[in-house]
């Protein structure tokens, strides 16, 4: 199956980062990655597989059926961010004939996010097609207070009415922007609202969104 990425992607091949396949000369890296999913870690000393370009992978935040979420740090600015990592071996697997291939949804997610620019919509910082780890990585800003659901559940003191008012107004502005641009989110819920502060709420996760 051919797998083409938009030209906006940054390619990372074995020449730009140390190739781990030297330890297994009879098998290519691609063959190895098809057998098991790649996980970023800091255990290997000779090859720093926890770093992709200027992004340092720090810890695994969450793991889903299609992607994993990592906390990362931009090594030049030392700013924390989030990396959504897709295993290409997973998203290129064949599906039932009635269903579109998974990678179609991923490409759609990237295209949508790349076209949106609004203070209350999560921006896409960078996308890396990394052939070393056989992954597709989406980098986005880190929300220190987590998602809206966990923000409410873990808040020790009663949340001020002004905070909810701000949240409602910002999310309404974000949804208005999406609809004015012909985008339907299709999975709008507290878990997909990121809290950067008690005055900044952002709509996220466009994995099932569509454009009319």
Q: pLDDT (tens digit, 9 = 90+) per residue, 111-164?
A: 999 999 999 999 999 999 998 889 999 999 999 999 999 999 998 889 999 999
Task: Note the pLDDT of residue 41.
Answer: 61
- CA dist 206 and 115 (Å) reads 12
Kindly state the helix (H) or strand (E) to which residue 111 belongs, with its residue range. helix 102-115
Question: Is position 49 annotated as part of the catalytic site?
Answer: no
Tell me which of 13, 153, 162, 187 is the catalytic residue.
187
Task: Note the pLDDT of residue 19.
Answer: 42
Give the start-end residues of each E strand in the chain: 10-12, 51-52, 55-63, 67-74, 79-87, 126-130, 135-141, 183-184, 193-197, 200-203, 210-211
Minimum mean pLDDT range among 17-26, 108-117, 129-138, 176-185: 17-26
Confidence of residue 101 (pLDDT cuts 50, 70, 90): confident
Kindly state the helix (H) or strand (E) to which residue 114 belongs, with its residue range. helix 102-115
- CA dist 76 and 55 (Å) reads 9
Report field, pTM of the whole predicted structure over 0.85:
no
């Amino acid at each position: 199956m051919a797998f083409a990425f938009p030209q906006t992607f940054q390619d990372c091949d074995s020449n730009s980062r140390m190739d781990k396949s030297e330890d297994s000369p009879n098998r290519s890296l691609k063959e190895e990655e098809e057998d098991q999913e790649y996980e970023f870690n800091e255990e290997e000393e000779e090859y720093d597989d926890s770093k992709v370009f200027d992004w340092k992978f720090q810890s695994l935040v969450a793991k889903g059926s299609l992607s994993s979420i990592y906390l990362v740090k931009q090594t030049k600015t030392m700013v924390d961010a989030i990396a959504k990592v897709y295993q290409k071996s997973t998203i290129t697997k064949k599906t039932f004939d009635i269903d579109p291939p998974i990678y179609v949804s991923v490409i759609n997610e990237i295209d949508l996010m790349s076209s949106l620019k609004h203070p209350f919509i999560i921006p896409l910082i960078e996308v890396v097609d990394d052939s070393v780890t056989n992954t597709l990585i989406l980098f986005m800003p880190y929300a220190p207070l987590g998602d809206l659901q966990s923000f409410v559940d873990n808040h020790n003191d009663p949340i001020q009415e002004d905070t909810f008012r701000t949240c409602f107004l910002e999310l309404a502005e974000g949804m208005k922007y999406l609809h004015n641009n012909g985008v339907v989110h299709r999975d709008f819920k507290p878990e997909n609202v990121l809290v950067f502060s008690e005055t900044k709420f952002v709509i996220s996760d466009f994995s099932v969104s569509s454009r009319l």
